[in-house]
Chain A
């Protein structure tokens, strides 16, 4: 049985972005950055709108640039103002979406394109995008593994990390940049609305089953891969949209893991599942 080229591309994109989001998500959830991830995903909408306004055919580059600008603005506001994190992110999330919608309302004929970014369209991914996703996955994974100890220490205690020689500020910036690139590229799979599920649900599922950070990372990688590839594989024969199928597959895994952890009491000595 041969696989259609569009399906090959969709499966490959899912195969590389799923585990990467799962890996990154371990630190996103532990550092309580899920809302941050959601904010930069929504900020991408304004980047997409700006791209269309500038007449760019593929707005991926302006989307990444705008998301990065918003991510760095969040860091700057956290450092320089007394505003609460949630307030900063709510401000930038709603501001970016509103800005994007205003620009799009001034332009005509981008309705379908907008839907592709809002809800994802994995079956329209081209070979070029698959190659970029592969390159980004290799690069980001390398950097994450290289800084694994520093990231783990930073997550445990920022001051302790500083005293241990971790360049806290630079590592925070690096993590935010890597997260932004990962989230922005994953928008093609799941769309702005659902992309956070690929970052948050696999590590939460892994948390229900794992008993160490190493196990959580390995499981999260595997669950991100299985959820993304499984969702794509299910969506086509059932004639359903790819993004929501990936999210629902990930949530099914989560519910299953919760039941397993309750049944076999894996978390007996842990503080309890999320």
Chain B
């Protein structure tokens, strides 16, 4: 790794000030499991001049439940979320998503804030020493369009001929399904508006904005998370899906279903949600909702298999809420 300046921020203000001083030349470090990998491979368009360590800010590592809202500090480790009894009980989609993320060690290091702010894993983008000058690096093209796109978007690019990389987070779809709100150093953003389809960034955060807390209202219904990956441990998802379904008199009154790793940002499957409304949770209805979710899919030459998996993930997530 090339050297850089390192700043231990003792408060949120201090961190924001440091970020403002360096502008785009600084990066925030919390768990560091995503950032340090990128720095070692030197794949960032610009190598950061400074890292601002936010682990030293007190009060951002907590899990609290009060007045029907669960607050999770941005620095809370994924492992702590995965084993918290309150989350396993009341917010199972999130607990399961955290538990299925990466490996034990990475969950002990990685934070929930970092998990939703993580960068894409496209193998052209991540190739060492910027071998592929892709759109995200100011190059002229997305190499996945004509290249090996078996792990890329099945719902189109950021724009036509844009970036086709998928968002890799496991916790992001769970937070969207649970209708979470992301609090940052300056505003509150609904989880589904937090991610953005752009070739420059994966979130709507400004350069000097820091995620501080995640707030989840007590779910009205039950929630579930399912993930398909090549191996049980460590792997990023091929497709994952989180669902929250509210049932009254054996009929679904409301549903929030979100797929991830299928599009440039987490993909809210509104077609599947509409398909479930007024129906009972059973095999046939869940199957139909899965089919509805992928009805708009436009797979690339090597990833048509993901359409079938996405369909099944939606079905299993819905059945998991029964």
A, B: real partners? no
List chain B positions with a Cβ less than 8 A from chain A. Answer: none
Please give the residue numbers on chain A whose beta carbons come within 8 Å of chain B beta carbons, in ascending order. none
